[in-house]
Amino acid sequence: MLLFSFQDAITSTAGRMKLIDSMEGIVKSSQQKLDKVQHGLLEEQKVCDALKQRYAVAVAEQRHCYSLLKAFQEECAMNEKLRCQTSI
């Protein structure tokens, strides 16, 4: 059925113009959809980049806290050792 409609459309000037208009509408609609999807992708990429940045900051903060904790534990061990030496 589509084949007959296509053949009918291309046999007359008006049919060809209608087919061209229809195809241009499809192209325009597809381009608008593509633009919308690309815009959405760009927005999602911005969110992703911001989350990556926040994650990097959080990891750096975690490492800093870990190093502070390790230093604190070493000081506690040193204090305990000194306390044991002074109580002898």
Mean pLDDT of successive 10-residue stretches along the chain, which has 88 residues: 65 84 95 98 99 99 98 97 85
**Domain boundaries of the chain, sorted by first residue:** 2-86
Residue-level pLDDT at 3: 54
- Rounded to whole angstroms, the Cα distance separating 12 from 18 reads 10
At 88 the pLDDT is 64
pLDDT at 11: 81
C-alpha distances (whole Å) from 53 to each of 24, 34, 39, 48, 57 are: 43, 28, 21, 9, 6
